[in-house]
Chain A
Amino acid sequence: MLSYILNRFRSSIVVLFVVSIITFFVLMIIPGNPAELILGTDATPEMIKDLHAAMGLDRPLYQQYLSWLLNLMKLNMGKSYVYGESVTALIARSLPVTISISIFAMSMAVFVAFFFGMISAIKKNSAIDYFSRSIMQLGAAIPSFWIGMVFIVYFGVRFKLFPVSGFVPIEQGFVKSIKSIFLPSVVLAIGEVGTLLRIIRSSMLDSLKQDYMDMARVKGLSAGKMYIKYALRGALTAPLTIIGMQLAKLAGGTTVVETIFALPGLGRLVLTAVEHRDIVLLQGLVMFITSTVVFITLIVDILVMFLNPRIKSYHQGE
């Protein structure tokens, strides 16, 4: 068991190492001299050369990479030239927004998906099964920016139920804060709920076919106990993995929604970095986001191992 965890940990480190190489070298191909970009058009060649050297850009690439990597480990990701602030500070400031909408969105998606996924599986091929599956197919095909715009028109402007842009931190009032992230979170949830529902339905169907379900029936358990204690428990591992992947995806996939609702989160930061070719900022963001993804995946894998006795005993047997 411990060996499984160590193994997973080691492969996570390898993935992050690979990501750091990809990120560093891909962004190094960008045409143009960063020193020129920072100093603007009226810089003299000497100034550019000095800054170039000061930024360490005259060293061989592998040396630049190693020193970047070392700084990264010390959480020193350099300074963004667009904002003139340290990347770490920028990330720390934007993170609460992205975390709030991601977690809020995933909670909604999980709730809806489990509810309808279980009903769909229990009442297979019923009207409600077809209905929920068709709605989810449609949900996966609707672009988030479009549904976001529709929401703004109806819930923001026509009915004035929610603010249409901006983020209210939780210190300025809980209700206000929830209201400011409600619409963006619903938009994100719509994009995720379909995949999750499908996985829940199919693993529930699998679980319902197992022998322990006959046993539960023979014992004369109530429907609620039978479905939740037995069927759902057996059907939990696959959805859990997917939930982890979706949370991880939202860590870097909220750009569109943050843009529509003008939320100052990580996604907006990524967009700004891409638009202005702020390499230092983009490198820092990419490393931060992918590390989060890898970390979440690792945690979920370990959780799944504890939940699933088969994986546990398999690795104990090794």
Chain B
Amino acid sequence: MKKNASLILGIILVSIIIAVWVLSFAFMPYNPNEMNIPSKFLKPDFSSEHILGTDNFGRDILSRIMYGSRNVLLVGVGSVTLGTLIGIFLGAVASMFKRLGNGIIMRVMDGLMAFPGILLAMMLVTVVERGIYGSIIAISIFMVPVFSRLVYSMILDTENLLYIKAARSYGSSKVQIFFRHYIPAMLPKLITQFSSSIGSAVMIETSLSFLGLGIQPPFASWGLMLSESRQFFLVYPYLAVAPGIAIIITVLGFNLIGDGLNDILINRRSHDE
């Protein structure tokens, strides 16, 4: 039972974020971009109209957090989905056409892996337009090598197993084998990687936004809110609390789900008995 503690906690945390996201479409206390200078820097107060307070422009922080969840989830889930699909495709192509694969595709992946941390994403946002779609493209390219390597190595590991040989011997095409046999065999690892990758994608998105290279003002993003609060947080530290906690809940949630799935789907026994 305690084996799944991380999965359960992760699901709870991610549910909170998804609930906030859903609520942002149904009910938002204020317009997140509406400025109201007279009521700026209101401290968080649960009995007042602005539960989490207001920022330097008098914008309601709760509404901005809620609106920000849309961008964060869109970029996080969108970029990882895109990266996964491209990664699976490239990994599969590389394993089917070994010479092209090992010679070109996997070498390019090695090259992409040599970019540390957010350097690759930063280099890519120089080229693409800054904003939601720019961030999605930059982060998805960051994700591609992880997934293509995973798929490539898993296919190499399984291609000599009997059931694959059998499928080949009765004339299944490479594409058929891929969808019917490889994909189901790879699914546990892919799902696990997918979940933890969302955690890191959210982290990269907020870092990019914090540096001013991601989502652009006046739109709300948690990283951007933190970056905007930098000038004022020595006097009004509460400005940094809500976006920080929102980021932590999201990243922790997806990481924990990844860990929990890893324990259940992959290392069934190796973990604590």
Contacts and interface: CB of A to CB of B under 8 A. Distances in A.
B118 A282 contact: no
Interface in A137-173: 137-138, 140-146, 149-150, 152-153, 157
Given A23-B123, A286-B119, A256 B234 contact: no
Interface string B121-144: 011111100000000000000000
B115 A252 contact: yes
A141 B251 contact: yes
Contacts of A290: 114-116, 119
B268 to A, nearest CB: 15
B216 to A, nearest CB: 13
B244 A14 contact: no
A151 B118 CA distance: 22
Interface stretch (A68-76, A267-275, A305-313): A267-275
A249 B112 CA distance: 13
B166 to A, nearest CB: 32
Contact of B199 (A29, A141, A149, A279): A141
Interface residues of A, number: 52
B21 interface: no
Contacts of A282: 123, 126
Interface string B222-241: 01001101100110010010
B248 interface: yes
A250 interface: yes
A281 B256 CA distance: 39
Nearest to B250: A141
Interface residues of B, number: 45
Contact of B207 (A11, A145, A248, A274): A145
A226 B256 CA distance: 34
B248 A26 contact: no
Helix, strand, loop or mixed for chain B's interface?
helix
Contact of B212 (A18, A143, A275): A275
B110 interface: yes
Contacts of A30: 126-127
Contact of A19 (B114, B118, B126, B207): B114
A259 interface: yes
Nearest to B111: A18
B211 interface: yes
B116 A18 contact: no
Interface string A274-289: 1101010010001001
A240 interface: no
B234 A286 contact: no
Interface string A18-46: 11011100110110000000000000000
A255 B123 contact: no
B272 interface: yes
Interface string B1-38: 00000100000000000000000000000000000000
Contact of B116 (A141, A146, A249): A249
21 contacts: A15-B107, A16-B114, A18-B110, A22-B112, A23-B123, A29-B127, A125-B272, A137-B256, A142-B248, A143-B206, A143-B223, A145-B207, A146-B248, A153-B233, A157-B234, A249-B116, A250-B117, A259-B210, A273-B126, A275-B212, A275-B213
Interface of A: 11, 14-16, 18-19, 21-23, 26-27, 29-30, 124-125, 137-138, 140-146, 149-150, 152-153, 157, 248-253, 255-256, 259-260, 270-271, 273-275, 277, 279, 282, 286, 289-290, 293-294
Given A149-B229, A274-B122, A282-B123, 13 more contacts: A18-B110, A141-B251, A142-B244, A143-B207, A144-B207, A146-B248, A149-B244, A252-B116, A255-B117, A256-B118, A256-B207, A256-B211, A274-B213
